[in-house]
Amino acid sequence: MDSVFLDVRGLNISFSGTGRDVRVVRDLSLQLKKGECLGLVGESGCGKTVTGLAVAGALKYPECKVEGSIRFLSDRYNKAPHNIKRKRIAMVYQEGMAALNPVLTVKKQMTELIRFHCRLSSGDALVRARQLLQRVGFNDVDDILRRFPGELSGGMAQRVCLAMALCCEPEILIADEPTTALDTINSAIVMKALAVLKKEMDLAVILISHDLAAVAQSCDRLLVMYMGKVVEEGSTWELLSTPLHPYSRRLIETFFALEEGRHDIEPIRGQVPGYHELPMGCAFYPRCEEASENCSIYEPELLKISENRKVACHLYSGRNKGAL
């Protein structure tokens, strides 16, 4: 797990707003290694999904402006055309039921996708569809192929989407909230299928989630995002056990308190600001219990604290003076 597969640097993503562009991801950088699972975590609206869409090449100009460098570094494909490289990156979207066409059978949807992307005959595409469904844990694949999406459970639909994402044998898989709207049992089945595929195919995975229990079990490293910026980065165990950024700390405390059924912890104070009204300085300072005057003036840089830890907070930059 040493070779870097994906290198993202200085990623900025803007959408056309009312009279001006609204930047929703700001100067994001990340690296993804072969066989690694990287988690993107944070509250809803912090930029996780749009980051995944940018990496997958699914954002289109002029509605969306993507700036920065997204480099796919596989030796096998580093000189391949752009469209070939993009086939090595697959994305599974949240709520598999919504991603499937309700009036077409699973067989029709899978074989058409495989024929289009893999240039296979109808017979070979059907064989491939059966293999992919078996790969994600289905036993009676012919029964699944005959069904319409409405005849599948949420967990089944998500695994069908996972199978479809594998049709081009990707090397990087982006899973966007793969357990959204699933019960505990189906969530576990989907996450187990993802873990098995990662191991069998030596996949590099980006797991986008606000389910910290899921990322704790699945991810090697985490990036914590707030208002379009990475505020902390580190190994999963270190970050969850000893979070450095005040936002990371409150996010983790609140999540696990709710998981344990406790109600003795106060939620993070204040409201998430809109992207069109970001404060000066640190975007989190209006909600931060440890903010200083400098936090309202200077935007903190993402500093390397140790070999595997980075944090963007003036508590570690030497500028945390004069509490608000």
Report pLDDT digits (tens) over 13-38: 999 866 788 999 999 999 999 999 99
- Asked, for residue 33, whether it belongs to a domain, the answer is yes
Domain containing 189 equals: 4-219
Distance CA 303, CA 318 (A): 11
Position 124, amino acid: D
DSSP conformational letter for 273: P
240 and 172, same structural domain? no
Domain end among 162, 190, 219: 219
- Asked, for residue 44, whether it belongs to a domain, the answer is yes
Structure tokens at 209: 């989630």
β-strand 37-41 against 204-208: which pairing, if any?
parallel
- Asked, for residue 314, whether it belongs to a domain, the answer is yes
Q: What is the pTM of this model?
A: 0.92
35 and 183, same structural domain? yes
- Asked, for residue 212, whether it belongs to a domain, the answer is yes
Give the pLDDT confidence of 57-112 residue by residue, as tens digits: 999 888 899 999 999 876 555 555 555 556 789 999 988 888 999 999 999 999 99
- Asked, for residue 150, whether it belongs to a domain, the answer is yes
248 and 140, same structural domain? no
Q: Which distant-in-sequence residues (6+ apart) come within 8 Å of 316 by Cβ?
A: 244, 303, 305
- Asked, for residue 230, whether it belongs to a domain, the answer is no
Give the pLDDT confidence of 144-168 residue by residue, as tens digits: 999 999 999 999 999 999 999 999 9
Structural domain tally of the chain? 2
CATH of the domain at 81: 3.40.50.300
Q: Is the pLDDT of residue 324 over 50?
A: no
Domain end among 170, 190, 219: 219
253 and 195, same structural domain? no
Domain end among 219, 254, 285: 219
DSSP string covering 147-193, please?
--GGGS-HHHHHHHHHHHHTTT--SEEEEESTTTT--HHHHHHHHHH
